[in-house]
Structure formats: C-alpha cells, structure tokens
Amino acid sequence: MLRRLTIAVAILAMLGTAANAQNRDRFLQVMTRNMDTGSDFGFVLGATDQLGVLLGIRATYQEILASDIPERADGIAAEIQTIHPDLVALQEITTLSTGPYGGPATTVVANQLQSLMAALRRRGLHYATIALQANADVELPAFDQSFNLFDVRLTDFDAVLARTDLPVSQFKLANIQQQHFNAALVFPILGQAIRFPRGWIALDAKLRGKTYRVVTTHLETLNLEVQAAQALELVSGPGSSGLPLVLAGDLNSDANNPSLTQSPAYHTLVNAGFLDVWEILHPGDAGNTWPLHGEDPQTQASTPNQRIDLVLTRGDGITAREISLVGTTPPGSMQLWPSDHAGVVGSFTLLPKQ
C-alpha cells in the first residue's frame, strides 16, 4: 500500500512539474520600436514659401543621411540580440530614394528595414518580416548642391518581425491583416495636397498551444482630431478581437497626460478596456520614451518628457509579468542613438483556459 501511495505521489509530482513547465513555456515577449526616420521634417513644415520648401526638402534629405540609418539599425539589432523577443513591432521605417526631376525616384539611397535585417543576420539571429504596412509615400523636388532640381522620395512603413527559430508546434502565426485608417492628415506642399496615411497590423499567434492577438500601429501626431479618429478605428477594428490582445506601438499619445483633449488616443483606448502595462507594473514611474535627442548625430541628449511608446493589453488569459525600456543610452564608439524614441519590451504569461 505504501509503495502504491509513493508511486501515486511521484506521478502527481511529475504531472505538476510538467504543467508548471508548460505554463513557464507560455511566456510571450513583445518589443515595440520606433526606428526614427532621422528627421522631424521641421525644415519643410516651417517653410513659408516655395523656395523655402525646396530648400527644406534638401535640408531634410541631408539630415536623414547624416543620421546614419545603417549604424542606427545595427544598434536596434543589438537590442534584439540581447532581448530575443518573440515578436518585434516596428514603426517609422524609412526607404529614401532619389531620381531625376519629375521622377520617378527609383534609386534607393537608404532602406531602413533592409539595414536592420542584414544586421540581424550578421548577429546570427533568426527573424523574418511577416507583415509590412506601407503608409505615406511622398515624392517631391529638391535642390542639389549646385541648385539643380532632383526628386526625393520618402516611403514610410510599419512592420512586424517574428522569430523563425521556433518549431511550428510551438509558435505559429495566422490571420495576418493590415489596413490604413480612414482618418488621415493632409499637408498642402508645393501646390499639392499630400495625404499622410497611417495604418495598423494585426496577427493571431499560437504560442505553445495558446492563441493571442498582437496589434501594432503608429498614430498621427500633428493633429489630435485625426489621432482620436484613428484610435476609434483601432478599437472597433483590430482591437475588437475576442482573443487575449497585446497592442504595442507608437501611439503619439502621452500616457502621463491622459485627458481626452491632450491625449485622445490613450484616453479612448483605456476607456475601451485596454490596460496600461507600464502603469500597472511601475506605478509612479513616468517611464517617458520621447524625445531622447534631437534629429541629428551631433545633438546632445535631452530629457524625455512623454510616454508615447506603449504596450497595452485587453482580455482574459494574459497577464503582464515585466515591462522595461531599451535604447535609452547611445551605444557604440560613434555614440549614435538608434532612435529618438526608447523602445518598450513587455513580457506576458499566457494563461491556459479554465
């Protein structure tokens, strides 16, 4: 009888150990990172006449080149190597191209995503781009050094990267969706109405038997009415999933100033039932993510005063374990900041169905 009891206890202990191991394996880690174009476009937005716009486009082009996109992408790859998140949500990914005046501008001068993926491969990391959302795609004339006209094209993207070194039985992606918001800001530049669309990416992922949804977005910053409308679209669209949901992105909405008039996106999301992981795990800590510095390599560090890069959750079955900032100090001998934003990394326990 004692032997049978001992065997039964041992079996129960083994089952408990297996269950605990399975629960430990249901840890999800998501990183969100604004890659930073390398310019705040102040030269263009501040221009008061056509000549000022042309000169501003040239200055912006030079500013982006001076920011050293490949070196900064390598800095973000180093962060990914240290953290090894399951999913990486990226915003403000830039492709910069030039061409003859009148276009098309097809000569690629800088491709931020290609630079990042090359840096990840050099480090022996296994990630793939599983979704790429093209947002604004703007081509305008500018002066070269001899004051001849040429075209500059800037294309803005959001993306999601996923680990490819896990077997499908442990990590499987499905229902990948992406869409532009109906609400978008329009700029009048050189007699053109330049629409700056933004959008979202959503996917369902099964991590060791547990399915969840991850959404990323980069909301409007220059017009709060447009931002509010985009947040409402987010709630009624990809945010309406019945699955446990993680929203990670640059919301351009200060969580430390959560009023409807000052931060409409954050206010809208929280009132729709989204939980602010940083506020839950670090109450009283501002956790500001922007701005880390100005928009060129020589600019000194500044003091971040807004928390706009956020990780939020909604729904049962997911519990936040940890959240932290990355990229808050410039790495490497060149002392280049990877971005003017800090990144945010959230770790979660995916709970089995009760």
Domains of the chain plus CATH, in order, are 26-33+69-93+127-134+157-350 (3.60.10.10)
Tell me the sheet residues that pair with 178: 201
pLDDT of 329 higher than 60: yes
Nearest to 135 by CA among 205, 34, 9: 34
Whether the predicted pLDDT of 9 surpasses 60: no
Looking at residue 354, its pLDDT comes to 47
| pLDDT recorded at residue 42 | 86
The one-character DSSP state at 284 is: T
- Please, what's the b/e burial string for 296-332 (b: 16 or more CB within 10 A of its CB; e: otherwise)? ebeeeeeebebbbbbbbbbbebbebeebbbbbeebbe
For residue 97, which of 61, 73, 132, 69 has the smallest C-alpha distance? 61
- In this structure, the number of other CB atoms found within 10 A of the CB of residue 185 comes to 18
One-letter amino acid for residue 276 of the chain: D
Q: In what order do the strands lie in the sheet with 309-314?
A: 171-180, 199-207, 210-217, 245-250, 309-314, 275-276
* Tens digit of each residue's pLDDT (9 = 90 or more) over 14-59: 444 444 444 445 789 999 999 999 998 989 888 889 999 999 999 9
Instruction: Dump the DSSP string for 233-247.
Output: HHHHTGGG-SS-EEE
Per-residue pLDDT band for 332 (boundaries 50, 70, 90) equals low
**Banded pLDDT at 319 (limits 50, 70, 90):** very high
Instruction: Round to whole Å and give the CA distance between 289 and 311.
Output: 12
Q: What's the confidence (pLDDT) of residue 311?
A: 99
Write out pLDDT tens, residues 184-238.
999 888 888 999 999 999 999 998 888 999 999 999 999 999 999 999 999 999 9
pLDDT confidence tier of residue 12, bands split at 50, 70 and 90: very low
In this prediction, residue 298 has a pLDDT band, given cuts at 50, 70 and 90, of low
Q: For residue 300, what pLDDT is reported?
A: 61
pLDDT in the model for residue 269? 98
Pick left, alpha or beta for residue 209 (phi over 0 → left; psi -120 to 50 → alpha; otherwise beta). left
Strands 87-100, 199-207: parallel, antiparallel or unpaired by DSSP? unpaired
Q: Checking DSSP bridges between strand 27-34 and strand 87-100, what pairing results, if any?
A: parallel
pLDDT interval class at 303 (50, 70, 90): confident
143-168 pLDDT, tens digit per residue, is 998 999 999 999 999 999 999 999 99
Digit-coded pLDDT (tens) for 74-112: 999 999 999 999 999 999 999 999 999 999 999 999 999
Q: Which residue has the tokens 């700056």?
A: 196
